[in-house]
Chains A and B, each alone.
Chain A
């Protein structure tokens, strides 16, 4: 089968579906985040308040999930935008590599920051 008109052979269904699921999750979490940070009576922006919340392991887990999902959704979305363009193989591999690197780096940075509390 010619590769023209097909692109990579792997099914696109899981990533398409995951992008929508993560989108919905992010939407809900982002609203929670917004309420927590800006509207909750007790929250405030003080270092102490944040530090106190961060002592809860469940809350840490939530933050890590938020970082990972956010990065996945954002970077996979970016890749999808690039995929709309017809590119030579080397360029698409380079961009994909850069996106993966950025993903790993930012995930590491984010998780390290969360865990440092």
Chain B
């Protein structure tokens, strides 16, 4: 079987603008991951093709990219999930500075993640054994704790495209993860951080983040829980 990949290429050392290059790849199968095709291109057709990858099964979040116009992980999408008889187009995640080919600069993304205090804050001394927590309370965190920081959601958010100061869905999801942890003793600190004009209020429930999330997290729902908490606190 044969498949045609149209990939946005950009080498900062030689190119002034990005361009597209087509690769016709033979000997693939529809059960191949997009990443498998990329590895084949890099290994045998064009060694300069550049992208990030690590675990190759949707757990580490390295290979987020735009596949046929949608943000996805190259390792979680098989050719048969795509309309592969037509050309498959790969581009870097939108709205981020491109470093090379499909690699984008994630420093802003991680900065925002760090801003929401993405860690458990406790002030009292812990008991000798574990802090108790009901399984129901624990499971309320599981969906948000699934996040792999692939940046697919944040880079799909129109609010973030127009206003780069917006915290974005990934950081807000992380804020939920700790604000609603029954063990956390500083939810107010975190609520203060997200409750700003460029914080949570740039979320207009557009739902792009949910569509983009490869881990199928209902991000908008989590953000709305934070909004509810803020309204209850302020009014």
Contacts and interface: CB of A to CB of B under 8 A. Distances in A.
Say if the two chains contact directly (CB < 8 Å).
yes
Interface of A: 4-17, 83-86
B159 interface: yes
Given A5-B167, A12-B199, A17 B235 contact: yes
Nearest to A5: B165
Contact of A14 (B115, B158, B204, B234): B234
Contacts of A5: 111-112, 115, 165-167, 198-199
A16 B167 contact: no
B165 A4 contact: yes
Interface string B103-121: 0000000011001000000
Nearest to A9: B196
Give the interface residue-count category, chain B. Answer: 20 to 34
Main secondary structure of the interface of A (DSSP, over half): loop
Interface in B195-235: 195-202, 204, 227, 230-231, 233-235
A85 B196 contact: no
Given A84-B163, A86-B165, A7 B199 contact: yes
Nearest to B200: A12
Contacts of A84: 158-159, 162-163, 202, 204
Nearest to B202: A84
A17 B201 CA distance: 11
B72 to A, nearest CB: 25
